[in-house]
Amino acid sequence: MQKNTGLKRIVKAFGYSIDGLKTAIHSEAAFRQELALFFIGVPLAFWLDVTTIERILMIASLFLVLITELINTSLEYVIERISNDWHEASKKVKDLGSAAVLLSLFNASMVWGMILFQL
């Protein structure tokens, strides 16, 4: 099997990434909710009277939520691919992924709160 290289590899990788985003949007309610938060938060960050660095931190914290949700969703798909049977290790992986999303949401809340309320 011949591997794609150069520009062809980049184009194919971009397509795979778009497929992944489509999968998350169509199959994950949590991702859709976090995406809505992102699409509200980004324009709000530009509308607010904050410094450039504060704006970058606000937007980056929202990107981190989306990224973490995508990784959590990937972990869940892998666990389900391996087996639908309940297993303690599978539960731990899913719980850890969920905890990562929760921490990213706490992070975004903290960043936005500290900037907005100048804490």
Rounded mean pLDDT, 41-48: 98
* pLDDT more than 70, % of the chain: 97
Domain 28-116 has CATH 3.40.50.2000: no
Out of 34, 69, 80, 88, the active site residue is 69
Q: Give the C-alpha separation, 31 to 44, whole Å.
A: 20
Query: Where along the chain do its domains lie?
Result: 28-116
Closest CA to 21 of 75, 72, 66, 81: 66
Whole-prediction pTM value?
Answer: 0.92
The pair of three-digit structure tokens given for residue 9, joined into one six-digit string: 């590899």
**Is 69 annotated as catalytic?**
yes
Segment 49-72, tens digit of pLDDT: 999 999 999 999 999 999 999 999
